[in-house]
Amino acid sequence: MATATSARKEETAAIDFPAELLSFINEWKDKQGSLIMILHKTQETYGYISRQAAEELARLTGIPLARIYGVITFYHFFKTTKPGKFKVSICLGTACYLKGGGDLMEEARKLLNVEEGGVTEDGVFSVDPVRCVGCCGLAPVITVGGDTFGKVTKTQLPEIFARYRALA
């Protein structure tokens, strides 16, 4: 069983960035406005930005950790917790919201037993709202693992989730 001390040690353990990410950081770190680009690449690499990754970015770029966290927590796009294997994004843009996007969010959270922005207990799904998927004519829209579903109803959600759970 992990103790609080061992959990903290694990949390602050060093992280080895892959060569591609290190190359990207070195290319961007001295450019104006580089932090957003570097954070995007880091999240693309890991699926989220862990405490260890943020600390390593601060060390490699010379950007204070507080500033890095300021940006991560300001922008909804950046995540500090590991997402589920399949990311469920429910559009809450105007068209989708008016056609039931909010109801889809509520139903998805209920079916998966997860809070908005949370991850299912088994780590298969994470659920996040998005402001626009760019498919307004198909409202309401959800994406699961990069696949887009349009004109979704609450009754379709169990079948959609079952399809991805079978792949997990």
Q: At which of 74, 95, 124 does a domain end?
A: 74
Q: How confident is the model at residue 13 (pLDDT cuts 50, 70, 90)?
A: low
* DSSP calls for 60-109: HH---HHHHHHHHHHSTT--SSPPPSEEEEEE-SHHHHHTTHHHHHHHHH
Same domain, 93 and 151: yes
Same domain, 101 and 134: yes
Same domain, 68 and 90: no
Q: How many domains does the chain have?
A: 2
Tell me what the mean pLDDT of segment 95-115 comes to: 96
State yes or no: pLDDT of 42 exceeds 90.
yes
Tell me what the mean pLDDT of segment 96-122 comes to: 94
Look up the domain containing 99 and give its range. 86-167
Residue 37: per-residue pLDDT: 96
* CATH number of the domain bearing residue 97: 3.40.30.10
Report the mean per-residue pLDDT for the chain: 91
Same domain, 55 and 124: no
Q: At which of 74, 95, 112 does a domain end?
A: 74
Same domain, 99 and 162: yes
Tell me what the mean pLDDT of segment 106-128 comes to: 93
Nearest to 84 by CA among 6, 156, 165: 165
DSSP 155: G
